[in-house]
Structure 1
Amino acid sequence: MLISTSLLPIVSVAQTPQGNTTNPSFNKAKKIMQKQIYTNSADMKTIYCGAEFNVNKYITLPAGFTTEVYKKRVKRWEAEHVVPAENFGRSFTEWREGAKVCVDSKGKPFKGRKCAEKANKEYRLMQSDLYNLYPAIGAVNAARQNYNYVMLPKTASKDYRSFGSCNMLIDKKDRDAQPPEHARGVIARTYMYFAAVYPKYKMSSQQRQLMTVWDKQYPVTKWECQRAAKIQKIQGNVNPILAARCKNS
């Protein structure tokens, strides 16, 4: 299927790719997702399970979906960081060690995500990058946590957490996740984008190898290009990974 080159501009070879430089608010990013990105009913589906949702963020679970955990979040629309916040957050000293401003009302210092968000604008910009945010069923988002994506061996299936008809698998023992096939290309190109525009984020060689394979196995879709065009207009930066693939598809 031919994808129009007008959806994304050509990126100059000499141009240095940039990430999000305009919106440091995660809450604002979630509202933008709801009101400006996912506005077509055909596109209003969660990344892993394809669950439909409406403008009020009400999720209709797909037939056969089940979960043993996080049941209170099962019909909650949530913004999933495909590249987990912790995976890039730990590169910030505020996350690892805290900061002077990270003291609660009782005088107790804190660190981690809460401190990085409070003390470092660069972190807030990365956390709020729309290219990395996708709608997810809350229970699945919670179960995935910050686990790496992998291809799981079939022999250890008893150790996996599953969601019935939704083919998202969580390895509870080794803390890994295997996404459904329809999400793998999107996930791969999101990881590749993050590595391309944020010097602080480093993919492991194993993760990079897997993302390269998934990128080739599951080519870019028209929907990905359309979504990227919307985000570029709102956020202001080109996604260099999708610009190249949308141009050549």
Structure 2
Amino acid sequence: MKQVLCLVALLFCIVTPSFASAPSTFTEAKVIAKREIFFDQPDGPEGELYCGCKWQWVGKSGGRIDAESCGYEARKQASRAERTEWEHIVPAWTFGHQRQCWQNGGRKNCVATDPVFRAMEADLFNLYPSVGEVNGDRANFNYGMASNAAPQYGQCSTRVDFGAKTAEPRDKVKGLVARTTFYMFDRYNLSMSRQQQQLLMAWSKQYPVTAWERERNARIAKIVGYPNRFVTGERSWALGHKPTGEGIESRNTTAAATRQVANSKEPAPVTPAAVTSGEVIGNQRSGVYHLPSGCPSYGQVSAKNQVSFGSATEAVAAGFRKAGNCR
């Protein structure tokens, strides 16, 4: 018993600040981003990502675009143009394709089985409200120069070149998206083409850090425990940059400690590092999920088989079913 307690204590010690407070799911991240980061931005001078539009919050994390505030005109999808969506500056497709889980079953499989993917999907630095239509048009395209694309969204200067599969954001956020991309590729050990590196390095230099970008960075750092060092100036990107892989190392270290507890002679309780209050726990071996209340086996799923979800809806979407002994 003493050995198990020591291992549990060790697990608490090695969980880094970045994952002690960071959201564990994309759904949770959107709610936190609304409440803690963009709470005062709907009517602010910066606006949403691609067109600078103002918006009104709707529901837990959504919003309704004020098209007149930015001169926005729908290109094709009028209903989607009316709402905000949470854009992954580095698309989930981009970072997912560099994970084995995606090759074995796409995004659904990554959400269900890969804690590093879930961390990337929920990373607050990579999320920004945007006009839904532009978010959809951008899809998983890389950022680049869309000089062959005519204006598509009224006075909004963001352009999407569908033929070249390239999206060029408005000038005001080019530096922000560049430094966010550097952060994601550095933290999660992703590979970037030389051409993409050169373009983003140019944007980062041409469009320096703004007061809002610093404030956004500070707000996120307060939540997750560390900043985007490409914003603070502590880190810079050069051709051939070798990623630190800090995000992967943190996850692997925590997972290893959890497995060590699970494999000890005495059964170990589920620890706060693996389960947080209100979290839905799935068992990837049995394919069932357990709720924090009403499910007797909630605290009995071995750490090595645990998959966490923000809600039962997320668990079902990932292919899990509710445990039969839940009341």
- For Structure 1 versus Structure 2, the TM-score category normalised by the shorter chain is 0.7 to 0.9
Aligned to 2:240: none
Q: Note if 1:203 corresponds to 2:192.
A: yes
- The aligned amino acid for 1:33 is A
What's the CA shift for 1:43? 5.7
Q: 1:82 to 1:244 in 2, by over 3 A?
A: same
- The aligned amino acid for 2:92 is A
Aligned to 1:88: 95
Q: Note if 1:134 corresponds to 2:123.
A: no
The answer to whether the 8 Å contact 1:19/1:197 transfers is no
Q: Aligned partners of 1:71 and 1:55: how far apart in 2?
A: 19
- The aligned amino acid for 1:24 is S
- Scaled by the length of structure 1, the TM-score of the pair is 0.79
The answer to whether the 8 Å contact 2:52/2:70 transfers is no
**SS at 1:192 equivalent:** helix
Note the 1:32-111 alignment, pairs <5 A. Answer: 32-40=32-40, 41-42=43-44, 45-56=47-58, 57-61=63-67, 62-97=69-104, 111=105
What's the CA shift for 1:82? 0.6
The answer to whether the 8 Å contact 1:19/1:126 transfers is no
Q: Aligned partners of 1:114 and 1:39: how far apart in 2?
A: 30
Q: Aligned partners of 1:219 and 1:67: how far apart in 2?
A: 30
Q: 1:19 to 1:204 in 2, by over 3 A?
A: farther
**SS at 2:157 equivalent:** strand
Q: Aligned partners of 2:25 and 2:78: how far apart in 1?
A: 28
Note the 1:1-249 alignment, pairs <5 A. Answer: 21=19, 22-40=22-40, 41-42=43-44, 45-56=47-58, 57-61=63-67, 62-97=69-104, 111-153=105-147, 156-157=148-149, 162-199=152-189, 201-244=190-233
The answer to whether the 8 Å contact 2:17/2:224 transfers is no
Q: Aligned partners of 1:203 and 1:19: how far apart in 2?
A: 27
Q: Which runs of 4+ in 1 moved over 6 A?
A: none
- Scaled by the length of structure 2, the TM-score of the pair is 0.61
- The aligned amino acid for 1:180 is R
Q: Aligned partners of 2:18 and 2:165: how far apart in 1?
A: 29
Q: 1:203 to 1:19 in 2, by over 3 A?
A: farther
- The aligned amino acid for 2:55 is F
Q: 1:212 to 1:184 in 2, by over 3 A?
A: same
The answer to whether the 8 Å contact 1:23/1:128 transfers is yes
Q: Aligned partners of 1:229 and 1:28: how far apart in 2?
A: 19
Q: 1:143 to 1:210 in 2, by over 3 A?
A: same
What's the CA shift for 1:39? 1.8
Q: Aligned partners of 2:17 and 2:120: how far apart in 1?
A: 7
Q: Number of aligned pairs?
A: 211
What's the CA shift for 1:238? 2.3
- Greater RCO (CA < 8 Å, at least 6 residues apart): 1
Q: Aligned partners of 1:90 and 1:232: how far apart in 2?
A: 27
